[in-house]
Amino acid sequence: MTAALLILAAYLAGSVPFGLIIARARGVDIRAHGSGNIGATNVGRVLGRRWGALCFALDVLKGLLPTLAAGWHLGLVRFDGTEPTATVSTGALFVWLGAMSATVVGHMFPVWLGFKGGKGVATGFGALLGVWPVLTAAAAGALVVWLASVKLTRMVGISSVLAALCLPVFVLVQPTLAAAMGRGDHPPVWPFAVVACVLAAVVVIRHRANIARTFAGTEHRVGRRA
């Protein structure tokens, strides 16, 4: 029951459509403009960069805060520098990862909008940051890939796909890095790797239209307003 409540609360938090709320406050139905997506990229394209940045920050927080809260409730986040070790139960990890994933599912399929939401990149990034330290470090690596790709291509969609594909790789190499640093208390990596692979696959599927437009040479580029 506790696990179900944590996951449900995380889903409801993730389903808050900040992009739609921000646009409505500006007198715009964001679903009728640009790509029609309620995420930060389309908000920035339609309303301007500062509103896109605000939407991005709020979407990150609605992934981060419920994930941290779930981890704290399960005793996996202690806010004292203590990290989960190899003695942490797999069941507790999966409840935590379930709550984390629920925030992303909520953004993609919000109950308030007929289960038609955004693509989950900003919320997913925030949720990953909340799973300290394994997915936090992997998310930081994926962010570096995303920033480098946006710099080179000026295309947010394909950059998100590349970052998502790198995420499982960053998760899998962390035990090796921890061992090289003399740390033997790394938690079991396979639950994190499974979730990272699933999230990466979902991000790629949600961006299939962006992939098609990229190959067709018609994908939107950063700096061009709708």
Tell me the mean pLDDT in the region 24-42. 93
pLDDT digit string, tens, across residues 53-85: 999 999 999 999 999 999 988 888 776 655 555
Q: How far is the CA of 67 from the CAs of 8, 14, 18, 71, 125, in angstroms?
A: 12, 10, 18, 6, 11
Per-residue model confidence (pLDDT) at position 120: 92
Residue pLDDT, tens place only, 171-200? 998 877 766 666 656 677 888 999 999 999
| Cβ count near 29 (within 10 Å) | 11
pLDDT for 124: 95
Q: Where are the domains of the chain?
A: 2-216
Cβ-count burial 200-216 (b if 16+ within 10 Å, e if not): bebbbebbeebeebbee
pLDDT of residue 180: 63
pLDDT reported for residue 47:
95
